[in-house]
Chains A and B, each alone.
Chain A
Amino acid sequence: MIELRQLSKAIDGNQVLKDVSLTIEKGEIFGLLGRNGSGKTTMLRLIQQIIFADSGTILFDGVEIKKHPKVKQNIIYMPVQNPFYDKYTYKQLVDILRRIYPKFDVTYANELMNRYEIPETKKYRELSTGLKKQLSLVLSFAARPALILLDEPTDGIDAVTRHDVLQLMVDEVAERDTSILITSHRLEDIERMCNRIGFLEDNSLTNVMDLDELKEEYIKIQMAFDTDVNLAIREQNIPMLDQAGVFYTVLIPKSDEEKKSFLRELKPKVWNELPVNLEEVFIAKFGGKRRW
């Protein structure tokens, strides 16, 4: 479906992405994680050719997008904000988009508008943040793309709307085999939706793996000690998720027997091994440099 090969990009002299490679298959929902400024949005903008890569190629079904931008009829990018939409109503936006995207399905768009009760006569800028996101998604899906690039689609919306937005995405993938590349700070959303995830860290895409595999790879250990072992744990570079008095929660790779032995040698009074969630893995990976 979409393939990124050795993609590099520097902005204002700062290397944002370096030799990033990734393939997303049909019907796959891929979650792109990373801290603010790690290059997630830049990666989406590179795919959509809003900016050009310094090196590397991006292929859609084997066709290089830069040389054949017409293939972007199959790719829709939904940014965090879309100021272009602001002054138009739903009908006006449909009128513009259906001339650009030949497969634009007006009937489907109307159906989704009715389903989510989005006002059709209001201008985009007059809608609430949640409704703006929903309208953008409706227009994106109605263009019948094969791949949708979603940048923070659930950012700034309430729980109910978020549920609707996520459901809309899940339905779309289930019904039409659409591929989705999604960035989000809401790890629970990523965890709920994505088949695979990847971490953008130090300009590179790391730990691209199946979400279940990732969770299987780590283990959370809750321990209680008689003495303060904080420093000892820190010295071993073991990510500490929480400490409350003598109770410690740490996260280590399941296969790291060396660290596990070290912790056992500290003679904990309590030892509980628990499954991890994505947020804990994320904090362990990205919070580590700051916290320990």
Chain B
Amino acid sequence: MTKNLIKNTTIAPILTCDQLFSSGITPVSIKIFPHDRIGISGHSGSGKSRLLRLICDLDPHQGEMLLNGKNYRNIEANLWRQQIALLPATSQWWHEEILNHFSTPPDKQLLDQLNLTNDILSNPIHRLSSGEKQRLAILRLISQQPSLLLLDEPTANLDKDNVTAVENLLVHYCKTNHAALIIVSHDQTQLQRLCQQIYQMNQGTLTVTEK
């Protein structure tokens, strides 16, 4: 049903970047549509994370960005980031308990999907492993219902089963919410599995590769 709907209407991009750049990043022009899953690979320090920060509007930049056709200058920065949310490579936690980091607690079904138990939410932060924190950070991010997920090495700390669980969850999230994602990963096979289009970042320049 959703497929028909999409075919019959002209789909507008969620995000349009027009000549977006800053020092160290050559201008990037890209359109991200609903259901897009875009991968970026490249060496450490090539500018992958910096590009995600630019799109999230965390660093000063040149060029234009539009969210659903609206210029970023006309959208409050915090509202921009609620829609275009970034998952950093290392998640940060600032309250004692996990639960306090969520505006709405994640439901049991989501926790199950990522092999987490409900009890974990009342645990203090320091009791959690880095893998558990990483999975909870993903839940924390999608609980805000962003329309574009920017993911910086989201599965770096996870074992094989959990990598699959996270990937399935992300694909499902994009499908049900008409959202899109941009994922940075060193794991080429993950990008092949997950993405419809893969870009290569080389010394600050983004180029399309295969697929």
A, B bound: no
